[in-house]
């Protein structure tokens, strides 16, 4: 269901509220430039600071605007199982194609707790699930044995993982246990080349927000085994991958979008603040290196 370049969409704000027109334009622009799926309300979409009502509105807008052209993977994760269930039910009703579920954060469940959490959600809602492992943010790590147990127990429901652990050995561990049908998606732009080489099928990307065509072309070359093209595109994008994390994300990528598009502003919600002067200089240099300015 999911492969290639998949942007984790920013949430545009204007005057403290969601800029729905800009979000719709962003969805269209992404699809027109080769993105293969869309993820609203992930970390890059500032999910921690949008209300549930706003989150559900973004699900609906994204599905409506995509209009079946690409699948939508709605960010439904929570550290409260019942809240995640609510988000999943709304996402399904909106017509989303899958739910992205991050490991519960702050309360730090055990591996048994993770199996119980994700298993309960898989049993309650008829919606495919992509696990999201990002221990640098959640502290909790979805271990390979836990991923394997869940995918084996719910093969028609838990279809893949977005892995931002940085541990490349997990690709092979998952692949050997679950085969190629289990969709392994990179969660780190700067590791996407190596991840695909190990058996990954794409990247849920921050950089694709601002460089959708380059990221789509890179993914297409990488997945087709055209490594000369993939290396060239990766080197063109690599400084941007790094620059977009020189300050708390998504402030740098919103700044980049304001430079490239103009109709998405830099506004973020507290406790985030706009990108620093140093970060902006790094982003500008990276955009120039990529040929986007």
What whole-number distance in Å separates Cα of residue 234 and Cα of residue 287? 14
Q: Is 162 labeled as catalytic in the residue annotation?
A: yes
Strand 13-14 and strand 17-18: pairing?
Answer: antiparallel
Please compute Rg for the chain using Cα positions: 18
What whole-number distance in Å separates Cα of residue 211 and Cα of residue 287? 9
Phi then psi for residue 42, to 5 deg, are: -90, -165
CA nearest to 103, candidates 64, 56, 137: 137
Kind plus residue range of the DSSP H or E element containing 100? strand 98-102
Are the C-beta atoms of residues 106 and 72 closer than 8 Å to each other? no
What whole-number distance in Å separates Cα of residue 89 and Cα of residue 93? 6
Q: Is 4 helix (H, G, I), strand (E, B) or coil?
A: strand
Q: Say which of 36, 92, 132, 254 is annotated catalytic.
A: 132
Q: Is 132 labeled as catalytic in the residue annotation?
A: yes
Are the C-beta atoms of residues 76 and 101 closer than 8 Å to each other? yes
Structure-token match 């699900």, residue found: 59
Kind plus residue range of the DSSP H or E element containing 220? helix 212-224
Q: What is the DSSP string of 170-195?
A: HHHHHHHHH-TTSEEEES-GGGHHHH
Are the C-beta atoms of residues 133 and 162 closer than 8 Å to each other? yes
Q: Say which of 36, 106, 120, 162 is annotated catalytic.
A: 162
- The residues assigned a catalytic role are 132, 162
């Amino acid at each position: 269901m999911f492969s290639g370049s998949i942007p984790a969409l920013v949430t545009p704000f204007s005057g403290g509220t969601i800029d729905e027109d800009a979000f719709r334009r962003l969805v269209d622009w992404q699809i027109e430039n080769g993105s293969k799926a869309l993820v609203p309300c992930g970390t890059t979409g500032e999910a921690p600071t949008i209300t549930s009502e706003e989150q559900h509105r973004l699900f609906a807008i994204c599905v409506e605007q995509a209009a079946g052209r690409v699948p939508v993977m709605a960010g439904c994760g929570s550290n409260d199982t019942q809240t995640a269930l609510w988000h999943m039910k709304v996402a399904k009703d909106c017509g989303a194609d899958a739910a992205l579920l991050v490991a519960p954060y702050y309360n730090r469940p055990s591996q048994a707790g993770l199996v119980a959490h994700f298993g309960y959600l898989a049993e309650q809602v008829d919606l495919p699930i992509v696990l999201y492992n990002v221990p640098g943010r959640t502290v909790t790590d979805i271990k390979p044995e836990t991923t394997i147990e869940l995918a084996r127990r719910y093969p028609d429901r838990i279809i893949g993982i977005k892995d931002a652990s940085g541990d490349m050995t997990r690709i092979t561990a998952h692949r050997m246990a679950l085969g190629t049908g289990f969709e392994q998606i990179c969660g780190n732009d700067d590791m996407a080349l190596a991840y695909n080489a190990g058996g990954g099928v794409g990247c849920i990307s921050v950089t694709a927000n601002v460089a959708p065509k380059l990221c789509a072309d890179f993914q297409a070359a990488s997945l087709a085994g055209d490594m000369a093209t993939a290396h060239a595109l990766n080197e063109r994008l690599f400084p941007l991958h790094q620059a977009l994390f020189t300050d708390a994300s998504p402030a740098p990528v919103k700044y980049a979008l304001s430079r490239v598009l103009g109709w998405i502003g830099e506004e973020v919600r507290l406790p985030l603040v706009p990108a620093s002067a140093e970060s902006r200089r790094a982003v500008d240099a990276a955009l120039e290196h990529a040929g986007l300015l």
